[in-house]
Structure formats: structure tokens, C-alpha cells
Amino acid sequence: MSVAAAVRIASRADAAVIERAASFAADAQTTCYIVSVVDELPYGRDADEARDVVLENLTLIESVHACPVMQEGDDVAQTLLTVARGFGVTTLFIRRGISLLLGRSLAERLLYLNPPFDVVVVGAEDIESA
């Protein structure tokens, strides 16, 4: 059993998702993985422009005793599913996002794949109250 959070490593908006997942994992006394699917390893094509944010997120991940996982992939939902299965994730936290491909958000696309774990969508109201 483990917990994970799906984040964009170069986004400040995902800090609350990292903290929420790490807190949940600590309460469950289990490992927390912070998974970022990127188009190019190690941190994505735009990492140079967002270097400070990437470093902030990596520092946060370390401070909450979570394990960063960077995975290259084109299909974010499918890649998250594969990574989560590989790490034995039972709960995956993800930030609520806007609808993208075919009118579906990342969370919707992931749920469409029928994952063998719980998906917790963290919305703006949850982030503000955290």
C-alpha cells in the first residue's frame, strides 16, 4: 500500500496537492510518491524556464518525506496508471484541472481507464482550506 500525488513538477499550483498527499500518507503510515509525467526527462522541455519552481517543488517533496518520481510519457493518464500500479498505489491525489482532450480533464481521463486505486481530486476550495 502506498499513496501518490500526480503533479506538474514545474507548477507552483501543485504544492497543496503534494502536502495533502504527504499528510494522508503520514496518517496511514505509508510511503508517498510524488509523480510527475514529463515530455522529456529529467523535468520536461520547459524545465529551464521553470527551474526555480522545479527546485521549490523538489525541496517541498523532500521536506514532507515523499519520494519524487519523474516519468517520461506522452499520454499522461495512461502513464500515471502504469506508474501507480508499479508502486502499489492505493490512493492517488490529483489537482482539479480544466477539461482538455475531447472535453475531459486529466482526472476524468484517468477514471475512464478504471484504475485499481482511489482517485482524490483536490479542488481550489480544498487547496484554500488546507
Interval 61-104: pLDDT, tens? 999 999 999 999 999 999 999 999 999 999 999 998 755 555 67
Q: How far apart are CA 19 and CA 122, in angstroms?
A: 11
Q: What is the CATH number of the domain that holds 25?
A: 3.40.50.620
Q: State the pLDDT at residue 113.
A: 94
Q: State the pLDDT at residue 127.
A: 46
> What domain range is 47 assigned to?
2-129
Per residue in 5-62, pLDDT (tens digit) is: 999 998 888 999 999 999 999 999 999 999 999 888 887 777 777 889 999 999 999 9
Q: Does residue 130 carry a pLDDT above 50?
A: no
Q: Is 70 helix (H, G, I), strand (E, B) or coil?
A: strand
Structural domain tally of the chain? 1
Q: State the pLDDT at residue 49.
A: 79
Q: Does residue 105 carry a pLDDT above 90?
A: no
Supply 25's cell numbers: 500518507
Q: State the pLDDT at residue 128.
A: 44
Q: How far apart are CA 118 and CA 25, in angstroms?
A: 13
Determine which helix (DSSP H) or strand (DSSP E) holds 87, and give its type and residue range: none
